A and B are shown apart, each in its own frame.
Chain A
Amino acid sequence: MLPDIFIKDTEHPFEKYIRENNLKNGKELSILNFGPTHPSTHGVFQNILLMDGEYILDADTTVGYIHRAFEKIAEQRTFYQITTLTDRLNYCSSPINNMCWWMTVEKALEVEVPKRAQYMRVIIMEIARITDHLICNGILGVDLGAYTPFLYVMEYRELAYEIFEEISGARLTTNMGRIGGFERDWSKAAWEKIDRFVTGFPKAWNELEKAFLRNRIFMDRTINVGAISAERAINYGFTGPNLRATGVDYDVRVAQPYSSYEDFDFEVPVGTSGDTYDRFCVRCGEVRESLKIIEQAIKNLPEGNYHADVPEYYLPPKEKVYTEMESLINHFKIVMGEYPVPVTEVYHSVEGSNGELGMYMITDGSRTPFRVHFRRPCFIYYQAFPEMIRGGLFSDAVATLSSINVIAGELDA
């Protein structure tokens, strides 16, 4: 026999609603399970929809299918072991998560990062933002039936992943960086690939943009679809492109600059109506601004070191580890998490590709954090989804879901 928990309260509120209200006014209502979708698309999440024909009356979102208890695991791990967890939050732009984690740790440990490393971080974060936006905008097209433009930009997504690979050795879950900077200086090949990306990508992006931006079918499918007002968006904790599409110009890069973002000249694109089309346009604008930032960072890249001089936290070079006793001990101590940690609490946020990605850490002086909390932007704004699709067509819900850029890894942490 099944335990009690599996049999009690099996009636969903929508079922109750249908039982009580069906066929009133001649309307036959139904329930539709939208998802759990295949992991390779947007991730796994289920929406239970109450439908009147093709119109959505109400929706109930279910999340947590790939919950991996990162916050719990982080309480048992040293700082270097936690980056691998942050990779898996928003896996479309893991370098941003990695950098946010290092900046959080550096804020707690009071490590000053050299200007060059900060600029390198900016470059890699902006490339990550571009890859994320091109996935989001490309997939929006795919979900509306336009597969080809997505493939135009795929080549450059591949190149961006090659850049990540050149820098960190991994493509998707990058585990990039160290406390105080990067693990190694970027190779010549990496710089060449970045150059190739910056020169070649705008052309591919123009092609994608041209396919959609003034496309009648695309406009009909996205304008006034899944709109949300600025007040509701702020109340719902929206950040990032989804908030800016409503006309609010809040961007963490400008509001509280980190990693030398104050040195760069860029604009914050905003929309007006907060609908799917505006979200698309804001992302298009941001991609161009990101390219501008990358160009400026490459041009003005300062001389200096690629990591901070903090031997307590930064792993010694491998040659020395293999030849010197002291370096071996130092390496071992850092890997085991044996470094001075102050008793403090720190919140650091960066402009992630889909909103304000914040990390809140409480340390108690031991090897592991006492508490880590990830402020995942899409977990917070996804709760507005039922409100955004209510009253609309089912096919509009698909477009809305693609355009708000919900990444299951981040949603469920």
Chain B
Amino acid sequence: MALDNSEIQRLVTEKFGDKTSGFEVVKDILTFTVTPDASKSLIQYLHEDSTLHFNFLTDLCGVHYPDNEPDKQFAVVYLLHNWFDNIRIRVKAFIPGDNPEIDSLDSLFSAANWMERETYDFYGIRFTGHPNLKRILNHDGMTVFPMRKEFPLEDQFRTDKDDRFFGREVNPNSVGRVE
């Protein structure tokens, strides 16, 4: 039987219960949230289970939600792909802002090595167990994590690009933002 989203949801909740939540299909990809302490064991399970068999880590990136509550300031988004049944899933783990830390996937996927370094470089999320967690794209001597939202790119006093002039609130209800 080919694997489908409801089957994945059933297997994951069976094994991880309340550690996972928010199952939802967003633009053809099943998306759910996992608590950061279970993230590695969940992905290991997804990777090694013979039914689920997510053999490929397509993507890994960080997201900063400055308006979330303090323990959900950052998200690490994993995109996994099962080539046998040709199905993708997206797993998110929300982590606190003051001490962003999550288990490294380096032992499962060698591909995660640089992707985690990049995420660390941009967001300062530390991946525990990573063999070589240092900056990759930015200069080693940089003291900030530039993709965090508190660093505006352009002149922050510039007002002509302000969304309010177009009758909009600034950044309302971004996806994944927890009220």
Chain B associates with chain A? yes
Residues from 42 to 72 in A contacting B, C-beta threshold 8 Å: 63-64, 67, 69, 71-72
Residue A5 CB within 8 A of the other chain: yes
Residue A36 CB within 8 A of the other chain: no
Chain B residues closer than 8 Å to A310, beta-carbon distance: none
Contact in complex: A380, B115 (CB < 8 Å): yes
Known: A63-B136, A250-B83, A412-B137. A373 touches B59 (CB 8 A): yes
Pick out which of these stretches binds chain B: A167-175, A202-210, A212-220, A355-363: A355-363
C-alpha spacing A235/B108, complex, angstroms: 8
C-alpha spacing A49/B77, complex, angstroms: 34
Known: A6-B141, A360-B77, A360-B79. A347 touches B27 (CB 8 A): yes
Per-residue interface assignment for chain B, residues 133 to 170, with 1 indicating a CB less than 8 Å from any chain A CB and 0 otherwise: 00111111101001100000110000001010010101
Chain B residues closer than 8 Å to A336, beta-carbon distance: 166
Contact in complex: A235, B109 (CB < 8 Å): yes
Residues from 18 to 75 in B contacting A, C-beta threshold 8 Å: 26-27, 29, 31, 55-59, 61, 63-64
Residue A75 CB within 8 A of the other chain: yes
Contact in complex: A364, B172 (CB < 8 Å): yes
Contact in complex: B175, A343 (CB < 8 Å): yes
Contact in complex: B61, A360 (CB < 8 Å): yes
C-alpha spacing A412/B121, complex, angstroms: 13
Contact in complex: A338, B166 (CB < 8 Å): yes
Chain B residues closer than 8 Å to A380, beta-carbon distance: 111, 114-115
Residue B6 CB within 8 A of the other chain: no
Contact in complex: A364, B174 (CB < 8 Å): yes
Residue A365 CB within 8 A of the other chain: yes
Chain B residues closer than 8 Å to A362, beta-carbon distance: 63, 174-176
Contact residue among A64, A347, A381, A382 (Cβ-Cβ distance under 8 Å from B137): A64
Name A413's closest neighbour in chain B (CB-CB).
B137
C-alpha spacing A126/B137, complex, angstroms: 30
Residue A18 CB within 8 A of the other chain: no
Known: A67-B138, A412-B137. A366 touches B83 (CB 8 A): no
A212 to chain B, nearest CB (A): 30
Residue A190 CB within 8 A of the other chain: no
Known: A63-B137, A234-B56. A345 touches B176 (CB 8 A): yes
Contact in complex: B109, A64 (CB < 8 Å): no
A304 to chain B, nearest CB (A): 25
Name A250's closest neighbour in chain B (CB-CB).
B83
Contact in complex: A370, B174 (CB < 8 Å): yes
Known: A63-B136, A343-B173, A364-B175. A232 touches B110 (CB 8 A): yes
Per-residue interface assignment for chain A, residues 153 to 197, with 1 indicating a CB less than 8 Å from any chain B CB and 0 otherwise: 000000000000000000000000000000000000000000000
Residue A237 CB within 8 A of the other chain: yes
Chain A residues closer than 8 Å to B114, beta-carbon distance: 379-380, 382-383
Contact in complex: A76, B153 (CB < 8 Å): yes
Find the residue from A6, A64, A338, A364 having the highest chain B CB count within 10 A. Answer: A364
C-alpha spacing A412/B147, complex, angstroms: 15
Chain A residues closer than 8 Å to B90, beta-carbon distance: 347
Contact in complex: A5, B141 (CB < 8 Å): yes
Contact residue among B27, B83, B166 (Cβ-Cβ distance under 8 Å from A107): B27
Chain B residues closer than 8 Å to A73, beta-carbon distance: 153
Chain A residues closer than 8 Å to B63, beta-carbon distance: 362, 370-371
Residue A344 CB within 8 A of the other chain: yes
Residue A221 CB within 8 A of the other chain: no
B74 to chain A, nearest CB (A): 11
A159 to chain B, nearest CB (A): 35
C-alpha spacing A72/B135, complex, angstroms: 16
C-alpha spacing A338/B115, complex, angstroms: 33
C-alpha spacing A343/B174, complex, angstroms: 6
Chain A residues closer than 8 Å to B138, beta-carbon distance: 64, 67
Chain A residues closer than 8 Å to B168, beta-carbon distance: 365-367
C-alpha spacing A383/B131, complex, angstroms: 14
Contact in complex: B86, A255 (CB < 8 Å): yes
Chain A residues closer than 8 Å to B137, beta-carbon distance: 63-64, 67, 412-413
Name B177's closest neighbour in chain A (CB-CB).
A364
Residue A268 CB within 8 A of the other chain: no
Contact in complex: A72, B109 (CB < 8 Å): no
B168 to chain A, nearest CB (A): 6
Residue B126 CB within 8 A of the other chain: no
Residue B94 CB within 8 A of the other chain: no
Contact in complex: B57, A71 (CB < 8 Å): no
Contact residue among A71, A358, A371, A412 (Cβ-Cβ distance under 8 Å from B58): A358
C-alpha spacing A191/B163, complex, angstroms: 42
Name B113's closest neighbour in chain A (CB-CB).
A383
Residue A92 CB within 8 A of the other chain: no
C-alpha spacing A232/B171, complex, angstroms: 42
Contact in complex: A64, B136 (CB < 8 Å): yes
Residue B122 CB within 8 A of the other chain: yes
Which residues from chain A sit less than 8 Å from chain B, CB to CB? 3, 5-6, 63-64, 67, 69, 71-73, 75-76, 107-108, 232, 234-237, 250, 255-256, 336, 338, 343-347, 349, 356, 358, 360, 362-367, 370-371, 373, 375, 379-384, 412-413
6 examples of A-B residue contacts, CB within 8 angstroms: A6-B141, A234-B55, A344-B27, A362-B63, A366-B171, A383-B111
Extra inter-chain contacts (20) besides given A107-B27, A347-B59, A371-B64, CB under 8 Å: A64-B136, A73-B153, A75-B153, A234-B55, A237-B56, A237-B57, A237-B109, A344-B27, A344-B175, A345-B26, A345-B31, A346-B27, A347-B27, A347-B29, A347-B88, A360-B79, A365-B173, A366-B168, A383-B110, A383-B111
